[in-house]
Amino acid sequence: MNSPQPACAPLVQIEDLCVTFTGGKLPVQAVSGVTLNVARGQVMALIGESGSGKSVTLRTLLRLHPERRTQMRGKVLVDGRDVLALSPRELNDYRGKTTSMIFQEPLLALDPVYPLGQQIEEAIRRHEPVSRAEAERRALALFEQVRIPSPARRLLAYPHEMSGGMRQRAMIALALACKPQVLLADEPTTALDATVQIQILLLLRELQRELGLSVIFVTHDIGAAVEVADRVAVMYGGRIVEEGSVRELIRAPRHPYTQALLGSRSHGAMVPGQRLQTISGSPPDLARLPPGCSFAERCPRASDLCRSSQPPVEAVSADHAVRCFQWQVPERAAAPPLPEPPPEHPVGDTHAPA
Amino acid sequence: MSTWHSLPKTGPEAPLSVVDVGGPAQPLLTIRGLVKHFPLKGGLLGRRRGEVRAVDGVSFEVLKGETLGVVGESGCGKSTTARLLMQLLEPTAGQIVFDGRTVGSRDLPLKEFRRQVQMVFQDSYASLNPRLTLEDSIAFGPRVHGVSATEAMSRAHDLLARVGLEPARFAGRYPHELSGGQRQRVNIARALALRPRLLILDEAVSALDKSVESQVLNLLLDLKAEFGLTYVFISHDLNVVRYMSDRVLVMYLGEVVEVGPAGALFDNPAHPYTRALLSSVPSMDPDHRTEAPALSGDPPNPIDPPGGCRFHPRCPIAAPACAQQAPERSSVSPLHEVRCLVHERGSEHPKALNRSLHDPSNLLRPHNAQEALA
Amino acid sequence: MSSTLAPRRRTLPVTVQQSPGYWQSVLHRLLRDRVAMAAGAVVLLLLLMAALGPWITPADPYAASMLKRLKPIGTPGFLLGTDELGRDLMSRLMIGARLSLFMGLAPVLCAFVFGSLIGLVAGYAGGPLNTVIMRTIDVFYAFPSVLLAIALSGALGAGILNSLVALTVVFVPQIARVAEAVTTQVRNRDYVDAARASGASAFTIVRVHVLGNVLGPIFVYSTSLISVSMILASGLSFLGLGVKPPEPEWGLMLNTLRTAIYTQPAVAALPGVMIFITSVSFNLLSDGLRSAMDNKGAA
């Protein structure tokens, strides 16, 4: 069970994952059959809106759901080990060492009563038999790696004493403390200001390249996904509706939902004075999923077949798959134009006033 | 007595909005020198340790019928400004003039001002009383101003229908039974119940999913046209602001650093901070990803703002003069103003233009920049 | 949700689907909580017993007889034995319920009214008024409740009414503190700001928006004080400061049966058992109420 996989096998293999929450009146089908592979050193973005199941999928990789109220079925293999079958002790070894996670709100994810240096050292010493001095040294090195200014001083700071961007960097440092193979990111930049967000996204991209991490990045912001990801999977109603390389998905999306999402956000989509293209209706109730495609009731191309049966996964190209009956039907409006390179705003320009 | 006192306030004859007092040329809202400092208490006896200078001398106008977008990051003071406009906070200094009348004066008592200006908050759940039904929440405002219970209720139902929520199904519900987008629609309906002229939208769509956001933005545009509203649209999403706004205001550390027409400001940003903000929007093209962040560091804390120009510690084109001299507002073009030494005539910044040398009408005047400006 | 505007029309009175209100759903949830319902049944039984007291006692609670003193449990005619004056213990326990329950509920009710008022004013007003009120409350809060109750009772003299006043004064600071905390929380919510923004007066805002959201948590906290009040009252009677003999009250009975603890320990412990059962039941009910209120629509 612990044999390391050959280099070509995907590092993360999720097969037909189903997660149901049984807390409320009706069981909630948060994830219904997700299959996803992430290779070593690859960045996969999971895009979707609230209720799509993206965060639930991510958290299943660390088994963060309350055990009593969650039913998980399927296979989740990380480096050959089945995460769903780990014993509690094995799970604690796995968390942090093989896979770690960064969250949306660092203030809530970091312990407020311990200085950051101590939290990092605790994490390191939990997984590796190193001395205190060695752990401190490594914590300092981590802070330097995530570009925190005055790192030695900041190691002694408490989370509330740092600004939002620095806290997020500190959380990244904490996540990387034990040199994991997989980094999970749950909307890490959503709560940040624009100028800080781009810094963190670029930092993640750099670190990922340097350390050869596999990253699964959950977000609702397509722009953030485009900046960091190699591949993108779009989720809706607990299922993956489209998956492909970031280039192909952005330029030639096939699923009506992806097309609508991209259509509302691409350059030239928001013209002042004109109404925005909207997807009518609202996301499905995960406790009462329809028998057919969950997007059918909002889809402009839905047919009776769509409403009655689950569309199978079909291959658009070698690395682009879509779950739709109607993907070959051309979109009525023209496909979103190829995004032009964004207008340059060189900040250091000697800008002569008009 | 102003004319609006004599108009019936209730019933079908009541006008949709109060009569325009100042005329179309009069800005609807004029803010002059608005300041808000929050004292920091500390030490043994709770003595003042310093101040949070959240809003430090903000002046701008909101023209009738326009949408003024306000952008800025944490600590810039935009939310505090919104609350000051609504008089939910007492300004430390400054004046707010609504349609030519000073707020709080005898011409315009606070309660009457509140009828004409309303706000939609960011957190759609926290903005609704969880114990009141939706119709009660919406009818509360009119009831406070003397509208009868039945009339208020029918107004509430009318507004619910107008924002796309069927009254028969939704009026008797409670906030926790709705989704975020639906709640925000209710908040908009609640804000419109008093038939205001100005609506302040403080990050009203920021917490919504993108598809829901588009629906609510369309709704806001429709309502603006139908009711003749004026909007102040605060947001951190530059694409949305560009789409919604006629003019845009950029704030940094409690000051207005740039203001101008949306198109001009986004196409030709004058202030280095605006340029940095625009560059920070993630690229949508996988082949042309962002290579370097426009700004380093986090937005600073308004507790101890730097001297001179507040942006100078992070500014890529800062000169030594920027630490000494605080810039004044200068014009880039007739409607486009910026607060930056580069654009200020005769400032010490090496890249500043000395207009007196380039302005053809000054050819006969002395070349000395200082004398020309005297 | 449609994003286009509905066509403008003159609104006719519509029949609106009413969702269950907050308290309705709380009751619903409470009814499904088995532990709370069991506790509630016990409380109901006790209240019934107190209400019907004189008509259901098997014997005269005041009939003393030196011949029959300290009979054990199970004596024919005196099912739970007799006390040190030969009176039927079962009847005395049943009548004692009246006073004991009264001393548990009445001070808490009075304290709820006064404490909520004080806390609401302090919480909503904020600033210097808040400081003055709350620091004054703190002075009383600093005293341990038992000592304060004894001191006040002693100063006012023995008797039911005086104990009632003493206990109310003991509980007002605690309830006021909770009330102030909750009011401050609610006051800072956006919907209160929205109400201020629509020009409502402070009184209207408190009445419509604050009260409904604040009374719930205060009420739940107060119910947790009922058992405390009962025990304090029993304590006061035990010390001779509350109820005077021959009135049956559980605490008083504990006192007078003290000496019998070596000869008839089971009988001597019975009033204590009643206090225990009643306190636990009120506590469980209060806990259940808190859980039922926790789920939805947090204030």
On whether both A140 and A32 belong to a single domain, the answer is no
DSSP codes joined into one string, chain C: ---SPPPP-PPPPPP-PPPP-HHHHHHHHHHT-HHHHHHHHHHHHHHHHHHHHHHH-SS-TT---GGGTTPPTTBTTBTT-B-TTS-BHHHHHHHHHHHHHHHHHHHHHHHHHHHHHHHHHHHHH-HHHHHHHHHHHHHHHTS-HHHHHHHHHHHH-SSHHHHHHHHHHHHHHHHHHHHHHHHHHHHTSHHHHHHHHTT--HHHHIIIIIHHHHHHHHHHHHHHHHHHHHHHHHHHHHTTSSSPTTS--HHHHHHHTGGGGTT-HHHHHHHHHHHHHHHHHHHHHHHHHHHHHHSS---
Question: Once rounded to an integer, what is the mean pLDDT over residues A148-152?
Answer: 91
Model confidence at A2, pLDDT cuts 50, 70, 90, reads: very low
> Is A153 inside a domain boundary?
yes
| pLDDT for position A120 | 93
Burial call A124-155: b when 16+ CB within 10 Å, e when fewer: bbebeeeeeeebbebbbebbebbbbeebeebb
Model confidence at B185, pLDDT cuts 50, 70, 90, reads: very high
Domain that holds residue A151: 108-179
Measure Cα distances from A256 to A316, A329, C276 in Å: 14, 10, 66
| pLDDT for position B350 | 79
On whether both A286 and A324 belong to a single domain, the answer is yes
On whether both A286 and A173 belong to a single domain, the answer is no
Q: Which of A254-263, B360-369, C78-87 has the lowest mean pLDDT?
A: B360-369
CATH number at residue A250: 3.40.50.300
Q: Which of A233-247, B72-86, C247-261 has the lowest mean pLDDT?
A: C247-261
User: Which amino acid appears at position B231 of this protein?
Assistant: Y
Strand partners, A233: A46, A243
Q: Closest CB to B239: pick one of A246, A270, A350.
A: A270
B74–A164 C-beta distance less than 8 A? yes
Question: Once rounded to an integer, what is the mean pLDDT over residues A301-314?
Answer: 89
Chain C residues within an 8 Å CB radius of A278: 3
Which is more confident, B3 or B153? B153
Residues 6+ apart with CB under 8 A from A98: A78, A79, A81, A180, A181, A182
Sheet strands side by side (includes B67-71): B117-120, B198-202, B230-234, B67-71, B247-252, B255-261, B336-338, B330-333
On whether both A196 and A255 belong to a single domain, the answer is yes
Average pLDDT, chain B: 84
On whether both A207 and A145 belong to a single domain, the answer is no
Q: Chains meeting A at 3+ CB pairs closer than 8 A?
A: B, C
> Is B105 inside a domain boundary?
no
On whether both A240 and A295 belong to a single domain, the answer is yes
Task: Say if residue C295 is exposed, middle or buried (CB neighbours under 10 Å; 0-12, 13-18, 19+).
Answer: exposed
A223–B282 C-beta distance less than 8 A? yes
Chain B residues within an 8 Å CB radius of A202: 290-293
Domain that holds residue B78: 27-99+197-210+229-281+292-298
> Is B340 inside a domain boundary?
yes
> Is B106 inside a domain boundary?
no
| pLDDT for position C4 | 43
Identify the closest residue of chain B to C16 by CA–CA distance: B168
Determine the Cα–Cα distance for residues C146 and C162; give it in Å rounded to an integer: 15
| pLDDT for position A352 | 22
Q: Closest CB to C208: pick one of B140, B182, B216.
A: B140
Task: Read off the pLDDT of residues B271-287 as tens digits, 9 standing for 90 and up.
Answer: 999 999 999 988 888 88
pTM above 0.95, yes or no: no
E strands, chain A, in order: 12-21, 28-38, 43-47, 70-78, 81-82, 99-102, 182-186, 214-219, 231-236, 239-245, 313-317, 320-323
Model confidence at A182, pLDDT cuts 50, 70, 90, reads: very high
The answer to whether B357 faces chain A, any CB pair under 8 Å, is: no
Nearest-CA distance from A259 to chain C in Å? 19
On whether both A112 and A258 belong to a single domain, the answer is no
Determine the Cα–Cα distance for residues A16 and A37; give it in Å rounded to an integer: 11
Determine the Cα–Cα distance for residues C232 and C250; give it in Å rounded to an integer: 11
Mutation target for C interface from B131, B209, B224: give the one with most C CBs within 10 A.
B131
Chain C residues within an 8 Å CB radius of B165: 1
Q: Closest CB to A195: pick one of B210, B280, B301.
A: B280
Measure Cα distances from A121 to A138, A152, A167, A274, B173 in Å: 8, 14, 16, 55, 51
Q: Which two tokens stand for residue B32?
A: 């002059």
> Is B61 inside a domain boundary?
yes
User: Which amino acid appears at position B34 of this protein?
Assistant: L
What's the farthest any 2 CA atoms get from each other in chain C?
91
Question: Is 90 exceeded by the pLDDT of residue B47?
Answer: no
Residue among B275, B125, B33, B334 nearest C299 (CA): B125
Chain A residues within an 8 Å CB radius of B285: 226, 250, 339-342
Which is more confident, B251 or C263? B251
The A residues from 262 to 301 touching C (CB cutoff 8 Å) are 278, 280-282
Q: How many CB atoms lie within 10 A of CB C47?
A: 14
Chain position carrying tokens 């600590």:
B75
| Total of domains in chain B | 2
Distance, C-alpha B130 to centroid of its chain: 28
Residues of chain B with pLDDT > 70: what percent? 87
On whether both A163 and A186 belong to a single domain, the answer is no
The B residues from 309 to 338 touching A (CB cutoff 8 Å) are 316-317, 332-333
Q: Which of A90-99, A121-130, A251-260, C230-239 has the lowest mean pLDDT?
A: C230-239
φ, ψ (nearest 5 deg) of residue A315: -90, 125
Model confidence at A89, pLDDT cuts 50, 70, 90, reads: very high
> Is B320 inside a domain boundary?
yes
Residues of chain C with pLDDT below 50 are 1-11, 297-299
Average pLDDT, chain A: 86
> Is B78 inside a domain boundary?
yes
On whether both A188 and A313 belong to a single domain, the answer is yes
Which is more confident, B7 or A350? B7
On whether both A92 and A120 belong to a single domain, the answer is no
Last residue of a domain, one of A146, A179, A212: A179
Chain A residues within an 8 Å CB radius of B287: 247
Distance, C-alpha A220 to centroid of its chain: 9
Model confidence at B42, pLDDT cuts 50, 70, 90, reads: low
Task: Read off the pLDDT of residues A22-58 as tens digits, 9 standing for 90 and up.
Answer: 977 889 999 999 999 999 999 999 999 888 899 999 9
Nearest-CA distance from C175 to chain B in Å? 22
Question: Once rounded to an integer, what is the mean pLDDT over residues B122-145?
Answer: 91
| pLDDT for position C292 | 85
A282–C3 C-beta distance less than 8 A? no
Question: Is 50 exceeded by the pLDDT of residue B364?
Answer: no
Residue among C107, C83, C112, C108 nearest C95 (CA): C83
Residue among A145, A146, A162 nearest A154 (CA): A162
Contact A198, A228 (CB under 8 A): no
| pLDDT for position C40 | 92
Nearest-CA distance from B8 to chain C in Å? 18
On whether both A92 and A117 belong to a single domain, the answer is no
On whether both B95 and B31 belong to a single domain, the answer is yes
> Is B343 inside a domain boundary?
yes
> Is A238 inside a domain boundary?
yes
C296–B176 C-beta distance less than 8 A? yes
* Rg value, chain B, Cα: 23
> Is B182 inside a domain boundary?
no
Question: Is 60 exceeded by the pLDDT of residue B232?
Answer: yes
C1–B131 C-beta distance less than 8 A? no
On whether both A20 and A84 belong to a single domain, the answer is yes
Question: Is 70 exceeded by the pLDDT of residue A342?
Answer: no
CATH number at residue B75: 3.40.50.300
Contact B72, C180 (CB under 8 A): no
Nearest-CA distance from C170 to chain A in Å? 35
Nearest-CA distance from C144 to chain B in Å? 27
Contact B244, B217 (CB under 8 A): yes
CA dihedral C31, C33, C36, C40 (to 10 degrees): 20
C14–B171 C-beta distance less than 8 A? yes
Identify the closest residue of chain C to B89 by CA–CA distance: C193
| Total of domains in chain A | 2
Q: Chains meeting B at 3+ CB pairs closer than 8 A?
A: A, C
Q: Which two tokens stand for residue C215?
A: 């009374």
Task: Read off the pLDDT of residues A200-215 as tens digits, 9 standing for 90 and up.
Answer: 999 999 999 999 999 9
Chain B residues within an 8 Å CB radius of C196: 88
Question: Is 50 exceeded by the pLDDT of residue B225?
Answer: yes
C24-57+89-294: CATH topology is MetI-like fold (1.10.3720)
